[in-house]
């Protein structure tokens, strides 16, 4: 499978000075917790980092769950189905939440995010290189990270427990946000004792070609 490596991404700011600082390598990483609680209702997303598993109707028949997909579905719903006949799960829901992580949200549509989030837009050629620079900064701190990145999927967070989600947890959003065409970078420390909080990082971006576009 080809490596995910889009050619360009954008990040919007409502202050030109902040956009310039970003392009000079002063990168602020937010957190999922902050995104769930942010006061601006246009930016707030209370369901960040979760999947809502829906049971629909699961009938386990005479001998309990005899199908791997049914067993997995029951586990996703936090239900242990005992042996025996006639067991059925109806209209149950369970929430799986990844807790917290650092994130950097970009977009593939400069015009939309300029209209929604700020008129000063940083252009980021080959954003995967920015991801690797942030990873290197974490490494220099001795703070090794699990990380993931990719396009956000807008099919929603309600997923049938028998099915596979269209994207990993943390990369699912509701369709109302689809116009943002988000590219997302997520980091979580390998050491669970390390607190995840908003971070201001200074990294060398001199070779990345970041620039401010807009007024």
- Give residue limits of the domains in the chain: 8-49+98-213, 57-90
Lowest-pLDDT range, 110-119, 178-187, 206-215?
206-215
Long-range contacts made by residues 83-92, C-beta under 8 angstroms, separation at least 24?
A: 85/61, 86/62, 87/59, 87/60, 88/57, 88/58, 88/59, 88/60, 89/55, 89/57, 89/58, 89/60, 90/55, 90/57, 90/58, 91/55, 91/56, 91/57, 92/54, 92/55
The distance from CA 174 to its chain's CA centroid, rounded to whole angstroms, is 12
pLDDT of the residue at 16: 95
Tokens of 147: 């990380």
pLDDT of the residue at 41: 66
List strand residue ranges (DSSP E) for 92-209, in order.
Answer: 93-97, 102-107, 120-125, 145-151, 158-160, 182-189, 199-202
pLDDT of the residue at 109: 96
Per residue in 126-176, pLDDT (tens digit) is 999 999 999 999 999 999 999 999 999 999 999 999 999 999 999 999 999
Judged against a pLDDT cut of 70, whether residue 182 lies above it is answered with yes
Residues whose CB falls within 8 Å of the CB of residue 33, separated by 6 or more in sequence, listed in order: 100, 196
Stretch 110-135: mean pLDDT: 95
55 CB burial (10 A radius; 0-12, 13-18, 19+): buried
Of 168, 195, 198, nearest in space to 98 by CA: 168
Q: Structure pTM?
A: 0.87
Judged against a pLDDT cut of 60, whether residue 1 lies above it is answered with no
pLDDT of the residue at 151: 95
pLDDT of the residue at 45: 83
Per residue in 52-109, pLDDT (tens digit) is 999 988 877 654 555 678 888 889 999 887 766 567 888 999 999 998 999 999 999 9
Asked if residues 196 and 188 have their Cβ atoms less than 8 Å apart, the reply is: yes
pLDDT of the residue at 166: 93
Judged against a pLDDT cut of 90, whether residue 14 lies above it is answered with yes
Stretch 20-26: mean pLDDT: 96
Q: Rounded to whole angstroms, how far apart are CA atoms 119 and 111?
A: 9
């Amino acid at each position: 499978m080809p490596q995910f490596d889009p050619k360009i991404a954008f990040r919007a700011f409502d202050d030109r000075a902040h956009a310039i600082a970003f392009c000079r390598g002063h990168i602020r990483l937010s957190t999922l917790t902050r995104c769930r609680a942010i006061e601006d209702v246009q930016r707030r997303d209370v369901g960040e980092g979760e999947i809502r598993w829906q049971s629909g109707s699961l009938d386990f028949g005479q001998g309990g769950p005899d199908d791997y997909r049914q067993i997995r579905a029951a586990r996703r719903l936090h239900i242990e189905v005992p042996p025996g006949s006639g067991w059925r799960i109806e209209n149950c829901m369970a929430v799986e939440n990844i807790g917290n992580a650092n994130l950097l949200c970009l977009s593939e549509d400069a015009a939309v995010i300029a209209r929604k989030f700020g008129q000063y837009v940083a252009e980021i050629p080959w954003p995967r290189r920015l991801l690797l620079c942030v990873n290197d900064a974490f490494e220099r701190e001795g703070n090794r990270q699990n990380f993931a990145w990719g396009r956000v999927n807008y099919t929603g967070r309600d997923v049938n427990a028998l099915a596979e989600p269209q994207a990993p947890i943390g990369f699912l959003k509701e369709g109302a946000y689809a116009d943002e065409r988000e590219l997302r970078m997520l980091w979580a420390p390998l050491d669970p004792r390390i607190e995840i909080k908003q971070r201001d990082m200074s990294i060398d971006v001199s070779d990345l070609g970041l620039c401010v576009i807009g007024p």
